[in-house]
Amino acid sequence: MKKSWIIALNTFHESLRKKTLYIVLVFGLVVIGASRLFSFLTAQEELKMIQDVSFSAIEFFGALIAIFGSLGAISSEIEKRTIYTLLSKPITRPHFVIGKFIGQKLILLINFVLLCLFFIGLLLFKKSMPNVEIFKALFLIYVELLLISSITLALATFTSDAFNIIFSFFLYIVGHLTSYGRQLLERTENIILKGLGDMLYTLVPNYENFAIRDKVVVGVPVSWQYVGKTTAYGIIYIVIAILIGIYFFQKREV
């Protein structure tokens, strides 16, 4: 575990210096900042607007950082051939994969925290104390981002970057639509279609589960139980993603 941590810190360290993700981060900050331009609204409406836009921006730009950050985590080590030296050290391949997972989570964490701080700063500036519901919504967004980054990283252990990016975004979109899909499927009588739909529903994580912002924005409280359940749901998928990553990387020739 210590060796994974050393690899994670190296990944994190490199990413901080590379600064490529900063562009996405800046975009996110700009969008959140822009949400306060709706000053023609009443103060109450404006606050709602700020929350709504900020949650969406944090989720969307966070997802971009999660996907683009994880995308090259493994392929860059292979392309630059740093992997040869690394694998000749006394580490196992699972150490490497887990190290990359943790490293990406650290990168995501720092970007996420910056976006959140900016958002909360904006609320405070508008003289609105963020309540615990807001933190619940942010927390679940973070769990969702962890999951998105884990899936991209798992894919990175056995596919090309091009395929990975397409598939990651595909999953991101489908993962937000599965509830609708399921409702549609409930109307069909076709058993095969229903079976396929159910399978897809289980395989593809339902990202909408993490989206409680609609409720938070209008002031409907969300139970801790729901937060806990959804976090567990996310962690199950994250663990599966890590195991898939380890499985494929162990067989991979670099």
Partner 1 sequence: MALIETKDLTKIYELGWNKKVIGLNQVNLQIEEGEIFGILGPNGSGKTTCLKLLLGVLFPTSGEALIMGKGPLDVNMKKHVGFLPENPYYYDYLTGPELLKFYGRLFDLSPAEINNRTARLLEMVGLAGAKRLSLRHYSKGMLERIGLAASLINDPKILVLDEPTTGLDPIGCKETRDLLLQLNQQGKTILLSSHFLSEVERVCSRIAIFHRGNLIEQGTLKELIGQYQANTLEDLFVKSIEKFDQQHPA
Tell me whether residue 30 or residue 254 sits nearer to partner 1 (CB atom). Answer: 254
Cα–Cα distance measured from residue 233 to residue 205, given in angstroms and rounded to the nearest whole number = 9
Minimum distance, C-beta of residue 78 to partner 1, in the bound complex (Å): 10
Give the residue among 81, 98, 139 at the shortest CA–CA distance from 238.
Answer: 98
In the bound state with partner 1, the residue whose beta carbon lies nearer, of 111 and 178, is 111
Between 10 and 75, whose beta carbon lies closer to partner 1? Answer: 10
Q: What's phi and psi for 223, nearest 5 deg? A: -70, 150
Measured between alpha carbons, how far is 28 from 118 in angstroms, rounded to an integer?
10
The token pair at 1 is: 């575990």
Minimum CB separation from partner 1 for residue 11, in Å? 9
CB of 85 to partner 1, least distance (A): 6
* Residues forming the site for partner 1 (CB under 8 A): 2-3, 6-7, 10, 13-14, 17-18, 80-85, 87-92, 251, 253-254
Q: Rank residues 96 and 237 by Cβ distance to partner 1 and give the closer one.
A: 96
Please state the φ and ψ torsions of residue 237, each to the nearest 5 degrees.
-65, -35
The SS3 assignment for 236 reads helix
Q: Which of 175, 245 has the CB closer to partner 1?
A: 245
**Tokens 């969008």, residue located:** 31
Min dist. Cβ of residue 8 to partner 1 (A): 12
Q: Tell me, what amino acid is at 160?
A: S
22 neighbors 76 (Cβ within 8 angstroms): no
CB 188 → partner 1: shortest distance, Å?
Answer: 38
